[in-house]
Amino acid sequence: MAWFKWKHLILFLLVVALMVWSINVTEFDIRKFSQFNNMIDFLSNWFPFNTSVLPTMLKASLVTLGMAFLGSFVGLLVALPVSLLAAKNTAGPFYGSVRIGLSFVRSIPEIVLGLMFLTIVGPGPFAATIAIIVHNASVLSKLIAELIEAADKGPQEAMKAVGARPLIGALFSVFPQIWPNVLSHYFYRFEVAIRTSLMLGLVGGGGIGQQLFVHFKTFQYSTVAVDVMLIMIIVIVVDFLGSRVRQYVM
């Protein structure tokens, strides 16, 4: 037992127990796949693609893209000033309360925010976008606040030394340093927002997500196929663009 201690064995048994329990509660059972023909049957309904809906679905996809972009970008705009109030080194007296407020908002799942705003402003992409803004503002505030806290202290001291006012000092000594990382976080959040706006579509938030849900419920599988294809294209394109931009700014 050169590599392990008794402690590790106990830990291992605990993990095994956790797995057994999870298999139980999730009704995890590979045998359920035994009716493989059902699956093939189901998938064969997807073909041929119902291309006649392509123009409408393309429009719905752009709505999803718009929700994700607006939601994450306005989230970023809100997060930039808020993060200054949420970082230990720039916050001043607000630090504690801003941090608590942010983690409170962050703890509300986006789907809950979505359902909330859907009830308030009615169904459609507007409610979903607001939900994405609120969530992303809180997430990005925290991420950017962490970047601000980790930023090199040198330029901050230099800005104090030239007699710059605190706000200017913080802006200029911190943001040029962290800007690439902010963009990188932003693009990641944009990608996540696409997935979120799909989810919010399912509960009435509009866009291609809602279309997918409707088509599925009404067994229009050849249209579902078009929806799924478009969704995959959006995700891949944004993913690709995001990684290119991140490479470029690094």
Note the residues at the interface with another protein (CB under 8 A). Answer: 152, 154-155, 157-165, 167-169, 171-173, 176-177, 179
**Residue 3, both tokens:** 């590599």
Rounded CA-CA distance 247/183 in Å is 11
Q: Residue 53 in contact with residue 226, Cβ under 8 Å?
A: yes
- Least distance to another protein from the beta carbon of 164, Å? 4
CB closer to another protein out of 55 and 163: 163
CB closer to another protein out of 60 and 159: 159
CB closer to another protein out of 41 and 157: 157
Rounded CA-CA distance 10/63 in Å is 52
- Least distance to another protein from the beta carbon of 177, Å? 6
- Least distance to another protein from the beta carbon of 141, Å? 21
CB closer to another protein out of 49 and 175: 175
Task: Name residues whose C-beta falls within 8 Å of residue 36's C-beta, 6 or more positions apart in sequence.
Answer: none
Rounded CA-CA distance 173/147 in Å is 12
**Residue 168, both tokens:** 């200017």
- Least distance to another protein from the beta carbon of 187, Å? 19
47: number of Cβ within 10 Å = 10
CB closer to another protein out of 69 and 172: 172
Give the ranges where the chain is alpha helix by DSSP (H).
6-25, 36-44, 54-86, 88-91, 95-106, 110-121, 125-150, 153-161, 166-200, 207-217, 221-249
- Least distance to another protein from the beta carbon of 168, Å? 5
Taking alpha carbons only, the member of 207, 195, 246 closest to residue 58 is 207
CB closer to another protein out of 122 and 166: 166
- Least distance to another protein from the beta carbon of 200, Å? 36
